[in-house]
Amino acid sequence: MLQISPVLQETITQFSQASNEYELCELLADVLHAFQLTKGFALYLQDSSHDSQLVLTSNSWNPTDDIHTLPIMHAAVKHGYIEFEQYSSEHTEHIKFLLQIAGISFSAIMNTHNVIAQKKQLGKSTLVLDTMLEMLSDIILQKDKKSIAQIAGQFLMGYMRVSSYAIIGFSYDGSLQVLSHNGYNEETLNSALRHLQNDPKTLMNENILVPMEHGPHLQGYILLKDRKSHPYSDDDVSFVSMVGMITALSIERTVLFEEESRLNAIEKDLALAKEIQQYLLPSFTEHVDGLEVTGLHVPSREIGGDYIDILHYSDKSLLLIIADVAGKGISAALIMSMVKSACSLLVQQGRRPLDIMHSINQLVHEHTASNTFVTCACIYINPQRTMITSINAGHELPLLKKRNGEIIELNQGCIALGVLNKIDSIKQSEHNIELGDIICMYTDGLCDSTTVEGNLPMHNLLSECNNNSLQSASKSIAHHMNANRNVQGISMEDDASLLLIRIVS
């Protein structure tokens, strides 16, 4: 059994007091010297890449051919080795024992270093996390891009001690704009914007450029001046990247919030416009002397571009008018309102269908885009309810169903209104009417929305009316239209309007 003197044991206990590998090597060398365990020696340590480096030699170290080598190991980990010239085999056993103790001490020192490093990293990570949480709590209250960018800039200056930064984002038209900055003059910022638009890599020579990204969405860039004296570390770049991600997420949230607010405002405007438009269209429940009136109007969107009306002349004659503005939505509805106002004014002035068509044509041509036009059909009914005058301007053909079952297509007229500045020739047709005759006017949306073929058999529909109420016929058409859309999965591509009038006295 190996005998170790008490003095040697006491000396070995000093190994546990070493604070690093080099101090431990010095203690090991002191023991070798003090107890004259070798003639001479050299101590080697291994670094993290397992390369060996000479750290200590004895004064009498003069390598000869009789050199012994022993590793310094613990738990299968080699920390280094010793080369020495021995006095005796007993001394060699003492050296082995010392190296075993030294190996344990080396492992303890390495573990201590790892724990300290982990604590430092944990402390740094905790600081970063605390900073991120504080930044989030401040940013989440902001509702515009510039306020978000200013807070992000404050955290960059506070955490990284930077004096020059710029946070650059996208404006609503897609161009780049400076949201917040410090330490950059206007000329430098304008130059940076030009480089970012053309070649962002050119900014990397004297700056650190970090994208502000959240998922696949790029919301802008963080620009920092490069520090020559103490360059940014990987941890610094990671911190800036996290700031960029939080800023990008906050900007994205703000953009979505603004978009939602804008859409809510549009929905409110559309709801109001829809309500207003309902007042511009006939209710189909008003009593008209000598006529049974019904119909329907179904816009493809909240508001539509179909115009349907019954206008009264002072002499008790009537003008039935139905029109369809090219296009959909708000623009079509605005044009429809313009056409309605003009028609109402022209009827108050006593103008007849021919003059009305010329006036509306000029109005649409002069006050709308070149690709805008209006199809229109109007029917004038005399005060005695014995004669109609019809003009069709590129619209679906109005139908006159006689009491005997004959159906007449009212096809005389002209091209759609607004295509030309002036229409040289407008044809009109006149027909006698009597009790029981039915007039049918409708827009193409009624056809497009009801059948796969896109052609509602209006002739058959009128034939089925006979002595049934027109209100029942209108409901039947609406039911047929909705049922067919549901079965075929057809969405309404156009507004649908219908006007049915029967001569009753």
The pLDDT score that the predictor gives to residue 409 is 92
The pLDDT score that the predictor gives to residue 487 is 44
336 and 195 in a common domain:
no
Please give the average per-residue pLDDT across 93-106, as a whole number. Answer: 85
- Give 488's pLDDT tier (boundaries 50, 70, 90): very low
426 and 371 in a common domain:
yes
Close Cβ partners of 500 (under 8 Å, ≥ 6 residues apart):
293, 294, 295, 438, 439, 440, 465, 470, 473, 474
In tens, the pLDDT along 255-281 reads: 777 777 777 766 666 565 555 555 556
Higher pLDDT, 63 or 5: 63
- Give 246's pLDDT tier (boundaries 50, 70, 90): confident
- Whether 277 maps to a domain, the answer reads no
Last residue of a domain, one of 223, 257, 291: 257
In tens, the pLDDT along 6-55 reads: 655 666 677 777 778 888 888 888 888 888 888 889 999 887 667 788 88
- Whether 413 maps to a domain, the answer reads yes
Higher pLDDT, 389 or 443: 389
Give me the number of domains the chain comprises. Answer: 3
- Whether 167 maps to a domain, the answer reads yes
Question: What average pLDDT does the structure give for the chain?
Answer: 78
The pLDDT score that the predictor gives to residue 363 is 93
The pLDDT score that the predictor gives to residue 366 is 92
Please give the average per-residue pLDDT across 331-359, as a whole number. Answer: 90
User: Which of 296, 302, 304, 364 has the alpha carbon at shortest distance from 328?
Assistant: 304
The pLDDT score that the predictor gives to residue 364 is 92
Last residue of a domain, one of 99, 115, 131: 115
pTM, entire model: 0.51
Higher pLDDT, 227 or 127: 227
- Give 451's pLDDT tier (boundaries 50, 70, 90): very low
Q: Which helix (H) or strand (E) holds 182?
A: strand 176-182
Please give the average per-residue pLDDT across 107-116, as a whole number. Answer: 75
Higher pLDDT, 328 or 25: 25
The pLDDT score that the predictor gives to residue 427 is 95
In tens, the pLDDT along 274-297 reads: 555 555 566 666 567 888 888 777
Close Cβ partners of 198 (under 8 Å, ≥ 6 residues apart):
none
- Whether 215 maps to a domain, the answer reads yes
In angstroms, the Cα distances linking 489 to 34, 450, 482, 485 are 99, 11, 10, 5
316 and 237 in a common domain:
no
401 and 332 in a common domain:
yes
334 and 298 in a common domain:
yes
Is residue 489 pLDDT above 50, yes or no?
A: no
Backbone angles phi, psi at 223, to 5 degrees: -115, 125
417 and 338 in a common domain:
yes
The pLDDT score that the predictor gives to residue 212 is 83
In tens, the pLDDT along 148-207 reads: 888 888 877 776 777 788 888 888 778 888 988 888 888 888 888 888 877 776 666 667
- Give 483's pLDDT tier (boundaries 50, 70, 90): low
318 and 252 in a common domain:
no
Is residue 222 pLDDT above 70, yes or no?
A: yes
Is residue 454 pLDDT above 60, yes or no?
A: no
244 and 383 in a common domain:
no
Q: What is the DSSP string of 403-426?
A: TTS-EEE---EESPBTSSS--S--
- Whether 53 maps to a domain, the answer reads yes
Q: What is the DSSP string of 21-85?
A: HHHHHHHHHHHHHHTT-EEEEEEEEE-TTS-EEEEEE-TT----S--EEEEEEETTEEEEEEEEE
The pLDDT score that the predictor gives to residue 468 is 63
The pLDDT score that the predictor gives to residue 6 is 61
106 and 164 in a common domain:
no
CA end-to-end span of the chain, whole Å? 136
Last residue of a domain, one of 257, 292, 321: 257
CB 231: neighbour CB atoms within 10 A? 9
The pLDDT score that the predictor gives to residue 417 is 94
477 and 379 in a common domain:
yes
User: Which CATH number is 93's domain given?
Assistant: 3.30.450.40
Q: Is 181 helix (H, G, I), strand (E, B) or coil?
A: strand
Is residue 352 pLDDT above 80, yes or no?
A: yes
C-alpha triplet 58, 59, 65: angle, nearest 5°: 70
- Whether 227 maps to a domain, the answer reads yes
251 and 287 in a common domain:
no
- Whether 276 maps to a domain, the answer reads no
CA distance 149 to 435: 76
The pLDDT score that the predictor gives to residue 8 is 58
340 and 242 in a common domain:
no
- Give 216's pLDDT tier (boundaries 50, 70, 90): confident
- Whether 94 maps to a domain, the answer reads yes
Q: In terms of residue numbers, what domain contains 462?
A: 282-503
Q: Are 79 and 54 in contact (CB under 8 A)?
A: no
Is residue 373 pLDDT above 60, yes or no?
A: yes
User: Which CATH number is 353's domain given?
Assistant: 3.60.40.10
Query: What percent of the chain has a predicted confidence (pLDDT) above 70?
Result: 74
CA distance 100 to 106: 10
